[in-house]
Amino acid sequence: MSCADCGNIAKEAREIVAEVGSEPEKVIPLLQEIQNRHGYLSQELVEAVAEEIKLPVSRLYGVATFYSQFRFEPIGKNLIKVCKGTACHVAGAEKVYSIISEKLGIEEGETTDDQLFTLESVACLGCCSLAPVVMINDSIYGKLNPAKMGKILKEYADGK
Amino acid sequence: MAVKNYILVCGGTACESSKATEIFNSLKEEAEAQGVIDDVQIVKTGCFGFCEKGPIVKILPEEAFYVEVVPEDAKEIISESIVKGRMVERLLYVDDTQEQKDEFDVEDIKFYQKQVRIVLRNCGFIDPEKIDEYIAREGYAALEKVLFDMKPDDVINELKESGLRGRGGAGFPTWMKWNFTKGADNDQKYIVCNADEGDPGAYMDRSTLEGDPHSVLEAMAIAGYAVGADTGVIYIRAEYPLAIERLEIAIKQARDYGLLGKDILGSGFDFDFEIRLGAGAFVCGEETALLRSIEGNRGMPTPKPPFPAVEGLWGKPTVINNVETWANIPMIILKGGEWFRGIGTERSSGTKVFALTGKINNSGLVEVPMGTTLREIVYDIGGGIKDDKAFKAVQTGGPSGGVLTKDFLDTPIDFDQLTAVGSMMGSGGMIVMDEDDCIVDVAKFYQEFCVEESCGKCAPCRIGTRKLYDILNKISKGKGTHQDLENMKTIGTAMKKAALCGLGQTAPNPILSSLKFFEDEYLEHVDDKICKAGKCKDLVRFEIDADKCIGCTVCARKCPVGCISGERKHPHVIDQDQCVKCGECYAACKFGAITKS
């Protein structure tokens, strides 16, 4: 990171704080705004926001690491969320997950080397009648099996 | 020209995931193209509940109930239903009681017959983004009634009369919570809605908020009047973007109408809202943890007492109820506590919404009077088990609940009955399992969830959930012992007594209840090292019987990891080292040549 960026980061931190608020109760909304903008919590921006609201960085990280919503690494082009809710579990979510993990060579929370896919599992996407379900970016794919999942992955890999 | 027809398109999450928005847009385009756009009002509603058959489109006043609609059907729906006034027969839902399609009536659909909709009264009927439609169905009449005709004590007495108990799981009498807060001496009080629905396999609250957001806002304002609070906070999962959007729209519209904000309807009563987004922590469904999260901290529970009713948000007296509890309240005020008490059982009045999922024919959202039996829910409403398999058990209460076996099919479901048989009502997830589900696997699934979601503050939960998971993992690998089974009971019992909050106290429930009712299945894993359901991977092996295999190659093509090899018309072989035990080959083989052992 060059220091030309430092000024930009401080500027963005001020923007975020102006938008969300600077009270200690706004820590979660502030972190959510950082993640909305960048897809993850970049250390530089978290530090800059902490400075802006005059709270120790540890306080922000203490909160961020508690909640599963927050990520600390950039995500790939396609974010795959495998639902592991109960309905999906009994319908075979594990098999769907294994196939993705096997084909892409990544585990939960990891991103492929070509930055094309990030794999996550989530507790419930709330469309249990379609179980097992996977969400890729904003699209939901339901009633999956390993073969179907393989095809969908290929479509994305081919540049969908 | 007056509108002649209404087309209601389900905009619930499952239908939305299956192109409901595209269907909605196509219907509008077609209505325009066919010149009937002024005759018809096309509305995107909340969840109809019948998610299994989604996306659903309903035509009024004809009551045509179209299922599994795709965007390409729009043209025919408009030309037949709207232009010609006929039904599109091929899209109509038919169940086994209705042989004649032309005698169709939505009320007759078995899925809806035994349901009583109080909480979901508006879901699937109104456009949740239009306050006028809510008002047209007696919306905000209850708020008006309390502001002008009732004293705060009258409101609480009506609630007491109704017998309403909290729908978040524990079933605490709602009026008592309100009364404690009312009695607390403080200038500032808060009303909080717990919409942090984190139970995997449950989406009742999400559907309620998406389908009828005003009912929750109205109820919270009523509580504000009853206890003397002017601020409501809705804590909702960030994972529910549609519900959040509709709540924001609802709040804005209600403010514009003077139904929220300062001096509501000229009564002198002020009430307004804030929305806070949860960030993904199951423990925040616990009320003290939720309050800490709103305050901007790690969502860790604090010991009770003090109860939030007396010392809650920012240390101020706070009423906190979940979405479903709130949604009942306007109806109780309008129709009276006595009416509400007339529904359900003596000690659990009213209805309960369940998310019925798993191995069931009609999965979806159902609302039934308390006291309905499991059999009625599974067989009459749910249409029985998928693929005619055998019923094994139902899990209620998610990771905090337990299993109900076929012996309990005729048990009336209410708070006390479920607790008596070792499960709990929970928030309303109801997962149906069939003969292909392994009880050890399901218990392990829930325990893994609890390990991940334990906040780590108290040792019984932090260590207990981990130890229980490790033991289950060992059993699922065929390495468990009888002592392990005993140890699970000991650890589980200790956690129930010693954990700080509801999460840890109930985390052993799935294990303790399944051990009680399915001990044989645990023993099979321990003594015989087998998993009959074939779910515990380490205990399953798929093999091809060379005598039966004709070399059709279907299994090899289905295998997602390509570990089946063989020449065409010759017996195939599974490479056991590569096999991921997914069972795709087993399901695909038409000759019974693949064995599972």
Q: Residue B145 maps to which CATH number?
A: 3.40.50.11540
> Which residue out of B18, B298, B366 would a mutagenesis test of the A interface target, given it has the greatest number of A Cβ atoms within 10 Å?
B298
Residues in chain B closer than 8 A to A25 (CB atoms): 294-296
- Measured from the Cβ of residue B429, the count of other Cβ atoms closer than 10 Å reads 29
Q: Are residues A98 and A124 in the same domain?
A: yes
DSSP secondary structure string for all residues of B207-235:
HHHHH-HHHHHHHHHHHHHHHT--EEEEE
Count of residues for chain A? 160
Please indicate, yes or no, whether residues B162 and B62 belong to a single structural domain of this protein: no
**Residue A32 is assigned to a structural domain of this protein:** yes
pLDDT, position B419: 86
Could you tell me if A62 lies within 8 Å of chain B, comparing CB atoms? yes
Q: Is residue A43 part of a domain?
A: yes
Q: How far apart are CA B59 and CA B92, in angstroms?
A: 11
A10-67 confidence digits (pLDDT tens): 999 999 999 999 999 999 999 999 999 999 999 999 999 999 999 999 999 999 999 9
Question: Taking a C-beta distance cutoff of 8 angstroms, is the pair B5, B40 a contact?
Answer: yes
Give the residue from chain B lying closest to A97, CA to CA: B582
Residue B418: closest CA among B400, B438, B441, B437: B400
Distance CA B290, CA B318 (A): 12
User: Based on the domain organization, do B581 and B516 belong to the same domain?
Assistant: no
Q: Which two tokens stand for residue B54?
A: 């989604």
Whole-angstrom Cα distance, residue B358 to residue A87? 5
Residues A144 and A82 grouped into a single domain: yes
CA-closest candidate to residue B7, choices B18, B33, B211, B36: B36
B427 with B445, same domain?
Answer: no
* CB contact at 8 A, B446 and B398: yes
- Note whether A138 contacts B: Cβ–Cβ < 8 A: no
DSSP type of residue B338? H
Q: Are residues B333 and B365 in the same domain?
A: no
- CATH code: domain of residue B61: 3.40.30.10
Tell me: the pLDDT tens digits for B478-511?
999 999 999 999 999 999 999 999 999 999 999 9
> Based on the domain organization, do B171 and B257 belong to the same domain?
yes
For the cut 80, the answer to whether the pLDDT of residue B222 exceeds it is yes
To the nearest whole number, what is the mean pLDDT of chain B?
93
Q: CA B382 to CA B113: how far, in whole Å? A: 11
User: How far does B193 lie from chain A, in Å, by closest CA?
Assistant: 18
Show which of residues 394-433 on chain B sit within 8 Å of chain A, judged by CB atoms.
395, 398, 429, 431, 433
> Which 3 state secondary structure label does DSSP give B543?
strand
**Euclidean distance between CA atoms A143 and A160, whole angstroms:** 20
Give the count of alpha carbons within 13 A of A108, CB side only.
10
Which residues pair with residue B349 across a beta bridge? B344
DSSP H/E element including B591: none
Dist CA B205 CA B427 (whole Å): 9
* Residue B457 resides in a domain: yes
In this prediction, what percent of chain B has a pLDDT beyond 70?
98
Q: Which ipTM was obtained for this model?
A: 0.91
Whole-number Å distance between alpha carbons of B367 and B355:
9
pLDDT digits (tens, 9 = 90+) for B411-449: 999 999 988 887 888 888 999 999 999 999 999 999 999
Which residues on B lie below 8 Å from A27 (Cβ)?
296-297
- Cα–Cα separations (whole angstroms), residue B435 to B183, B284, B440, B540, B590: 53, 34, 13, 16, 21
Q: Among B34-48, B86-100, B263-277, B320-334, which is the least confidently predicted range?
A: B86-100
Residues B516 and B571 in one domain: no
Q: For the residues of B353-389, what is the DSSP string, one character each? A: EEEEEESBSS-EEEEEETT-BHHIIIIIIT-SBGGGP
Give the side-chain half-sphere CA count within 13 A for B437: 32
Which residues, at least 6 apart from B430, have a Cβ–Cβ distance to it below 8 Å? B354, B355, B356, B357, B358, B377, B394, B395, B396
The shortest C-alpha distance from B29 to chain A (Å) reads 23
A127 belongs to an annotated ligand binding site: no
Which chain A residue shows the shortest CA-CA distance from B275? A29
B332, B311: one domain: yes
Q: Is A128 annotated as a binding residue?
A: yes
Q: Would you call B59 helix, strand, or coil by DSSP? A: strand
Q: Does A6 belong to an annotated binding site?
A: no
DSSP B582: -
Q: Give exposure, A61-73, as e/b (b: 16+ Cβ within 10 Å).
A: bebbebbbbbbee
CA B48 to mean position of chain CA atoms: 13
Q: Which two tokens stand for residue B95?
A: 């169940």
B153 CB neighbour count, 10 Å cutoff: 11
Q: Taking 70 as the threshold, does the pLDDT of residue B91 lie above it?
A: yes
- Domain shared by B361 and B332, yes or no: no
Per this entry, what is the length of chain B?
597
- pLDDT tens digits for range A63-87: 999 999 999 999 999 999 999 989 9
- Rounded CA-CA distance B305/B88 in Å is 60
Domain co-membership, B196 together with B337: yes
Give me the phi and psi of B95, to 5 degrees please: -115, 180
Q: Does A69 touch chain B (CB under 8 A)?
A: yes
pLDDT at A109 over 80: yes
Given an 8 Å threshold on Cβ–Cβ distance, is A146 in contact with B582?
yes
Q: State which residues form the domain around A104.
A: 78-157
Query: pLDDT by residue (tens digit) across A84-94?
Result: 989 999 998 99
**Domain's final residue, options A31, A64, A97:** A64
- Three-state DSSP at A156 gives helix
Residues A59 and A82 in one domain: no
Query: Is there a domain that residue B224 lies in?
Result: yes
- For chain A, the domain total comes to 2
Number of structural domains in chain B: 5
Which regions of B257-325 does DSSP assign to beta strands (E)?
272-278, 318-322
Q: Are residues B424 and B479 in the same domain?
A: no
| CA dihedral sign, ordered B435, B441, B446, B449 | negative
Q: Please report which confidence band the pLDDT of residue B103 belongs to, taking 50, 70 and 90 as the band edges.
A: low
Q: Do A27 and B296 touch (CB under 8 A)?
A: yes
DSSP result, B98-135? ---GGG--GGG-HHHHT---STTTTTTTS-TT-HHHHH
Inter-helix orientation angle B204-211/B323-335, to 10°: 50
Query: Domain limits at B552?
Result: 541-596
Is A137 an interface residue toward B (CB < 8 Å)? no
| Assigned token pair, B329 | 């309240």
Is B535 contained in some domain? Answer: no
pLDDT at A3 over 80: no
Q: Are residues B177 and B75 in the same domain?
A: no
Contact A62 B299 (CB under 8 A): no
